[in-house]
């Protein structure tokens, strides 16, 4: 099957995908976004589709996984934003004054630490940090999936050593 034939098959299922997306999102705009993401992923990874299998089912699995991943990402972002501690304006002022310079120093330290890590480890780590999935990193770098996972793990361990001054056991006034 050629890429054009595949793209036409994906487009022919857009209506059923939209209806299925509405079951997940309960919102027309979110459903449209989910359909678009699903179609883009299907087209991007068309080589993973095995001819003779259920095409519509394959698309629905991509949609379900995309919805779940987006849900988890949004839930994680909400928990990071929501804090148990009450933030007072006095704390915000004091924090804002310190954060400007401290943040710059921390970012500089992280960049220095990343520069000390061999590129074979830093590149997969940075891509993972930017939101790429393991299999996307493996495809882009043309290395096995297990190698990507190992290199990201090793990079984390190296960064921990370089940035141990920022561990939670330390306290800053």
Look up the domain containing 112 and give its range: 98-165
CATH code for position 144: 1.10.10.10
Interatomic CA distance for residues 169 and 41, integer angstroms: 42
Closest alpha carbon to 65 in 124, 9, 133, 119: 133
Question: Is 86 contained in some domain?
Answer: no
Interatomic CA distance for residues 8 and 90, integer angstroms: 59
Residue at a domain's end among 81, 110, 126: 81
> Same domain for 16 and 77?
yes
> Same domain for 21 and 64?
yes
Rounded (10°) angle between helices 28-44 and 3-12: 160
Total of domains in the chain = 2
DSSP the chain: --HHHHHHHHHHTHHHHHHHHHHHHSSHHHHHHHHHHHHHHHHHTGGGPPTTS-HHHHHHHHHHHHHHHHHHHHHHHHHHH--SSPPPHHHHHHHHHHHHHHHHHHHHHHHHHHHHS-HHHHHHHHHHHTT--HHHHHHHHT--HHHHHHHHHHHHHHHHHHTGGGSTTS---
> Same domain for 148 and 123?
yes
> Same domain for 115 and 77?
no
pLDDT digits (tens, 9 = 90+) for 23-51: 888 888 989 999 999 999 998 988 888 88
CATH code for position 37: 1.10.1740.10
Question: Is 22 contained in some domain?
Answer: yes
> Same domain for 63 and 112?
no
pLDDT digits (tens, 9 = 90+) for 72-92: 888 777 766 555 444 554 455
Question: Is 87 contained in some domain?
Answer: no
pLDDT digits (tens, 9 = 90+) for 110-158: 788 888 889 999 899 888 888 889 999 999 999 999 999 999 999 888 8
Span 2-19, average pLDDT: 89
Question: Is 75 contained in some domain?
Answer: yes
Question: Is 160 contained in some domain?
Answer: yes
Residue at a domain's end among 81, 110, 145: 81
């Amino acid at each position: 099957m050629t890429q054009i034939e595949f793209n036409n098959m994906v487009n022919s299922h857009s209506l059923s995908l939209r209806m299925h997306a509405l079951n997940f999102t309960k919102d027309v705009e979110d459903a449209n976004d989910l359909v678009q993401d699903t179609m883009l992923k299907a087209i991007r990874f068309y080589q993973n589709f095995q001819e003779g299998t259920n095409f519509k089912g394959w698309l629905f699995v991509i949609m379900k996984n995309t919805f779940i991943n987006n849900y988890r990402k949004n839930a994680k972002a909400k928990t990071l934003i929501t804090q148990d501690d009450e933030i007072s304006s006095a704390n915000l002022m004091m924090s804002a004054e310190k954060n400007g310079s401290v943040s710059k120093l921390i970012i500089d330290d992280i960049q220095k630490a990343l520069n000390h890590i061999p590129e074979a480890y830093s590149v997969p780590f940075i891509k993972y940090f930017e939101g790429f999935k393991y299999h996307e990193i493996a495809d882009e770098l043309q290395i096995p999936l297990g190698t990507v996972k190992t290199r990201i793990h090793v990079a984390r361990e190296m960064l921990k050593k370089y940035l141990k001054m920022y561990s939670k056991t330390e306290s800053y006034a």
